[in-house]
Amino acid sequence: MANKQIIKERRLQDDAWKVVTLVDGEAPFDVCLPVGPLLVPVSVWKAKKACLIHREYEHGTPLGIWLAPEDDLAGIAADIDDFTVIAVHFPKFADGRGYSTARLLRERHGYDGELRAFGDIGRDQIFFLNRVGFDAFVIGEGKSAEDALAAFDDFPESYQGDAVQPLPLFRRRVA
């Protein structure tokens, strides 16, 4: 796992973050936290917040969280600045809720740390994911990360404002 690669700053980089998931029936406070930087689900963050903050304080282990499509931001809004990485899960690429989640994190809550997309995503999602504010991408299994790198430049221009370029084209258009 430590050698897995993700796309960041438009290139492939090694990545050490581990995703913690609950197995069926496992209670959030029961989960065993491995060493190293972790992306924990919201329920684990809430149950083990003190422990996670302690790890950061004592060992310098950065904090991370991952959000499911249905997760509401209200419950973690006050903690957002604590996270070095916020990851958003795409269980199916056709589930577009994570795109709204990203914009809300960036544009409403002012989150400026790493925003990572992971799950069922690949080259054909990168361009829009990047526009809504993701800056790190864990390409789905069986898909080519090298191929996905080409997608950042699929379109030279966009009509709407977004998390990267807040001004819509009509405010930038030069006749």
Partner 1 sequence: MYRYDDYDHAIVQARVAQFRGQTERYLAGQLTDDEFRPLRLQNGLYIQRHGPMLRLAVPYGLISAAQLRRFADVARRYDRGFGHFTTRHNLQLNWVKLAEVPQILADLAQDELHAIQTSGNCIRNVTTDHFAGVAADEISDPRPWAEILRQWSSFHPEFAYLPRKFKVAISGATEDRAAIQVHDLGLQVVRDPNNSAEIGFKVYAGGGLGRTPLLGQVVREFLPWQHLLTYTEALVRVFNRYGRRDNAYKARIKILVKALGREEFAQQVEAEWAHLKDGPATLTTAEVERVTAQFAAPAYETLAEDDLCHLAHLREDKAFSRWVERNVQAHKVAGYAAVTLSLKKPGAAPGDASSEQMEAAADLAERYSFGEIRVSHEQNLILADVPQRELYTVWHRAKAAGLAAPTVGLIQDLIACPGGDFCSLANARSLPIAAAIQERFEDLDYQHDIGDLELNISGCMNSCGHHHLGAIGILGVDKNGEEWYQVTLGGRQGNDARIGEVIGRSFAAAEVPDAIERLITTYLAHRHADERFIDTFDRIGEEPFRNAAYPHPHQSRRVANG
* Chain contacts with partner 1 (rule: CB under 8 A): 93-97, 99-100, 103, 108, 122, 124, 127-129, 131-132, 144, 154-162, 166-171, 173, 175
What is the rounded distance in angstroms from the CA atom of residue 147 to the CA atom of residue 96? 22
Within a 13 Å sphere around the CA of 64, how many CA atoms are in the beta-carbon half? 23
Give 87's DSSP letter.
Answer: E
Min. distance of Cβ 175 from partner 1 in angstroms? 7
> Cβ 103 to partner 1, closest distance in Å?
6
CB 152 within 8 A of CB 10: yes
- Least Å distance, CB 159 to partner 1, is 4
* Least distance to partner 1, CB of residue 87, Å: 18
Closer of 28 and 96 to partner 1 (Cβ): 96
Calculate the dihedral angle through the C-alpha atoms of 135, 133, 130, 60, rounding to the nearest 10 degrees. Answer: 10
Which residue, 17 or 66, is less far from partner 1 as judged by CB? 66
Pick 45 or 90: Cβ nearer partner 1: 90
The single residue listed with the structure tokens 């950065």 is 62
- Residues for the chain: how many in total? 175
In the bound state with partner 1, the residue whose beta carbon lies nearer, of 36 and 96, is: 96
